[in-house]
Amino acid sequence: MDFAIALWLSQDAVTNGAIYALLALALVIVYTVTRVILVPQGEFITYAALSLATLQAGRVPGTVYLLIIAGLAVIVLDAPALARRKAWGGFMASVGWNALLPLLVAGSAWLSASRPDDLAVGVLVTLAIVTPMGAMLYRLAFAPLANASVLVLLIVAVAAHYLMTGFGLIFFGGEGLRTRPFSDLQFQLGILNITGQSIVIVAASVILVVMLAALFGRTVYGKALRATAINRVGARLVGISIQFAGRLSFALAALIGAASGILISPITTLYYDTGFLISLKGFVGAIIGGMTSYPLAAIGSLLVGFLESYSSFWASAFKDSIVFTLIIPVLLWRSLTTQRTEEDEEI
Amino acid sequence: MSRAISRRNLAVAALILLLVAPLVLPEFYVTLLNYVGLSSIVALGLVLLTGIAGQTSFGQAAFVGIGAYTTAVATTFFAISPWLSLPAGLALTFVVALFLGFITLRLSGHYLPLATIGWGIAIFYLFGNLELLGKYSGIAEIPPLRILGVPLGDGRAFYFLIWTITLLALLAARNLLDSRCGRAIRALKGRTTMAQSFGVNTARLKIVVFIYAALLAALSGWLYAHFLRFVSPQPFDVNAGIDYLFMAVIGGSTQVWGSVLGAAVLTLLQEWLKDLLPKVMEQSGNFEIIAFGLLIIVILHRTPDGLVPYFARLIPLDSKRMLPLSARPLSARAQPRQGEPLLEVRRLSKRFAALAAVRELSFAMRAGEIVGLIGPNGAGKSTVFNLITGVLPIDSGEVAFRGERIQHLPGREIVRRGIARTFQHVNVLPALSALENAAIGAHLRGRAGVLSASLRLDRAEDASLRQEAMRRLDDVGLRNQMLDAAGTLPFGSQRMLEVARALCADPLLLLLDEPAAGLRYREKQALADLISRLRAGGLSILLVEHDMEFVMGLVDRLVVMNFGEKLAEGSPREIQSNAAVVEAYLGSVA
């Protein structure tokens, strides 16, 4: 391996690492707020990437129908409790978020499919399809289990992953799809050949992270999420709704997953079930960060990016095995250096 | 109560059903039931490991694979008897599990599930790539099992072997949980500090449970290989590992019988979906996986603790009765002579980052004394307890107990020397009875291990331990609540349970961390009586307490702490008139 290849691999590593870092952030947000290990995170990636590819092929993706059905299910589940409390305002809000919004999205998806060359509209519509799904997923699968053990939440997360993968296969078939690149730009920087797509990915990741930092640092919603993450009971006592925090964190995770999917879809061929492996690598990054620290999760994800990039150069067939095997010593080091007290353990 | 069904009758009915089933059901369903039995054995291991000990594993299928491949290779290629390949497979699994457990069980919390996915993937690739193991096409024509020379050719014959082994495994697991080691295993889930304080080697015990679960999986693998007479890597991949975890959770991951119920429901559900759904949907799509995911979610929404507790509500069972025990009493240690030096703390210090929790603290206790450690909130009193009992490592200084330096010993060695403690925040296992909780305190006074407990060879010793627990519960006034789940006891009773558990350790020095906090007046009086009685029996007591009235009437001497340092020391009368103490408590009078 010479220096040029090393640099080229590093560029690849940073590009992938940036995506894993985004996913790791999403997993950390969801885990700290709801104790759910978000196994279906990968489905948000594939749903977004393949929905965009379908739009670019001039068709309305099946995810739109899923959004409408899931929204109706939420209304049906919410209605009895709201009716009992005679909370008509709440009912109207539920109809607005879960019926009108999906219909609006469906309309714009139809428009977007008729203009397949408009990249910006396609991206926006895709984000609008996937993001509300996060909140609906929380409401349908996890909200009834707010007091369940981490193990039960994990099992439900795996079941939701199965469910969503199954839908993915129906919507998109078994064929792999790619979207058109955001930029055909390529230029030399010294001996390094830089592609526009890597710049887009890294820049978009940085922008997303800055936006998240602003959300968490400056807005009352972000602060509510942070409060819930630090102490669920305490947050509840000061009037933060656990359900609201759960929906918000899941919607954020879906948004981040969708953005990641859109960013990588021009450089990687995605299949209906590819998302799982990608998010698993984000998970590894998050775990290196101990599932609670955002900066450490980001650093861990970059490490995963480098491991993957270099191992794909040496032995590409075993790329994934190598990543997961080399992670073990890192985990060992983490678990030996982290002082855990008994009271911290969630049972 | 007359409508309650006795446990014995339920067990007999289930046994008859199991016996009759293969005689009346068509071959197809017998085969399904065989698969249910095979999965139950693996899921049972997960109930112990994940549901009860709290260690999540996605990698059990890999151990099934080791058991299956060992016997496949040994019997097919080397013509070794299956009855010899079974111990060989178990031995290999033991070694692999010991190694994996040693590296991965150090990974606490969420590291473990990920690590188990990792090794599950690794072992799967190993099966698929080794020439000896037939690569991805597997090994066919494995010889059948023979019992007394008769080959177990068909599913019906195999049925009885599988279910005999399954039932024996269930009984052994039930026995194990109802034993000294079983109680310690239950404490592994979120209560390791407490367990260590009563002498449980939690790190070692986690590995033992891990190996136990792995051996069950390997046993199932051995049966599988000779039942199907063909092995290939696919049934042992990570997805299969996830399925086993599904079974344990769906069935009820804290219940031994949950493994059977979960295995049955999941196996039948998957079969039914594969069979029925394409007919209903009139096309072969991948609707199974959607329906499967949906059903799992719906079941867990209905009954998050699994199906066994759900059915337990529907079928009222008679409650367990406790028989009076007449076991051999445990031998107790002799208390040291009154006035002999007992505990000496010299220049003890502990910092948490920038906060000096304990600074250069020194004090001493003699045998037979009751010493109170008092001070305002945050003075460092509980930290001193944690340093003495080895819960926290000390920064500097020395702790000597009966002349021996103990400051670098782990908690379980300190309790062995005769220091037992209670916890400021009640630290009991809520689902276990008060009796079982108290018996954890006597852990070091028994010797029976996992194997003798599984085989019910520990009964005499366990009766002695339980009798001791009953005696101590009686001492603290919980005679009538012995069989109640600890979590359902009122707060004051839980505090007294803490004391009873510590007494079960047969201590020479008892450390009570705020024993009167949250107690009502009468409960406080009862506690004061108890402490006086214990003192009369020669026990030495160090207690942290806030309630001045309570402390002043009980103790011989007081050590007052403020901001981590010793402020004063002396008799209650001296302390009450000490200006510095008054200022620390009431603030300076301007």
Residue B222 C-alpha, separation from nearest chain A C-alpha, in angstroms: 27
Helix (H) or strand (E) run with residue B186 in it: helix B180-187
- Separation CA A52–CA A263 (nearest Å): 11
- Separation CA B406–CA B390 (nearest Å): 8
ipTM for this model: 0.88
- Separation CA A174–CA A177 (nearest Å): 9
DSSP code for A147: T
DSSP code for B315: S
User: Does residue A193 sit in helix, strand or coil?
Assistant: strand
Whether residue A143 lies within 8 A of chain B, CB to CB, comes out as no
Order across the sheet with B557-562: list the strands. B419-421, B509-513, B540-544, B370-374, B557-562, B565-570
Q: What is the pLDDT of residue A345?
A: 43
Q: Which residues of B touch A30 (CB under 8 A)?
A: none
Place of tokens 């990016």: A305
Q: Counting beta carbons within 10 angstroms of the beta carbon of residue B135, is it exposed (0 to 12), middle (13 to 18) or buried (19 or more)?
A: middle
Residue A215 C-alpha, separation from nearest chain B C-alpha, in angstroms: 27
Q: What is the pLDDT of residue B69?
A: 94
Number of C-beta neighbours around residue A143 at 10 A? 19
Domain residue spans in chain A?
3-337
Helix (H) or strand (E) run with residue B404 in it: strand B404-405
- Alpha-carbon dihedral A347, B47, B320, B200, rounded to 10 degrees: -60
- Separation CA A128–CA A55 (nearest Å): 13
**Which of A163, A322, A343, A344 to probe the B interface (max B CBs under 10 A)?**
A163
What global pTM score does this model have?
A: 0.88
Interface of A with B in 305-334 (CB under 8 A): 320-321, 324-325, 327-328, 331-332, 334
- Separation CA B263–CA B217 (nearest Å): 14
pLDDT digits (tens, 9 = 90+) for B318-327: 666 565 667 7
Q: What is the pLDDT of residue B586?
A: 67
Which domains, ranges and CATH numbers included, belong to chain B? 7-314 (1.10.3470), 336-418+507-590 (3.40.50.300), 433-506 (no CATH)
- Separation CA B419–CA A28 (nearest Å): 41
Bridge-based pairing state of the strands B404-405 and B396-401: antiparallel
DSSP code for A138: I
Q: For each successive 10 residues of chain B (590 residues), what is the average pLDDT?
A: 68 89 88 94 95 90 94 92 93 92 71 77 80 82 83 83 94 94 92 91 92 96 93 89 93 90 92 78 71 91 87 72 71 86 92 86 92 86 91 91 91 93 91 93 92 91 92 91 90 92 94 89 90 91 86 89 88 85 67
Q: Which residues of B touch A335 (CB under 8 A)?
A: 106-108, 111
CA atoms within 13 A on the CB side of A91: 11
Q: What is the pLDDT of residue B499?
A: 94
Residues 6 or more apart whose Cβ sits within 8 Å of residue B295: B269
Q: Which residues of B touch A151 (CB under 8 A)?
A: 50-51, 56, 249, 253
Q: What is the pLDDT of residue A290?
A: 66
Q: What is the pLDDT of residue B2?
A: 46
- Separation CA B495–CA B500 (nearest Å): 9
- Separation CA B340–CA B366 (nearest Å): 5
Of residues A159, A320, A331, nearest to B297 (C-beta): A159
- Separation CA A237–CA B411 (nearest Å): 37
pLDDT digits (tens, 9 = 90+) for B465-480: 999 999 999 999 898 8
Whether residue B189 lies within 8 A of chain A, CB to CB, comes out as yes
Q: Which residues of B touch A334 (CB under 8 A)?
A: 107, 111
Distance of CA B180 to the CA centre of its chain: 10
**Cβ contact, residue pair A170, B286, below 8 Å:** yes
Residues 6 or more apart whose Cβ sits within 8 Å of residue B228: B142
DSSP string, A276-320: HHHHHHHHHHHHHTTTT-HHHHHHHHHHHHHHHHHHHHH-GGGHH
Where do runs of H (alpha helix) occur along chain A? 3-34, 41-56, 63-84, 88-95, 101-114, 119-137, 150-172, 196-218, 220-230, 232-237, 242-264, 275-288, 294-314, 319-337
Q: What is the pLDDT of residue A317?
A: 64
**Cβ contact, residue pair B292, A162, below 8 Å:** yes
Q: For each successive 10 residues of chain A (347 residues), what is the average pLDDT?
A: 79 87 88 89 94 93 94 92 86 90 93 88 94 96 88 92 93 85 75 79 86 85 84 83 90 95 89 87 79 76 86 72 70 64 40
Interface of A with B in 29-68 (CB under 8 A): 37
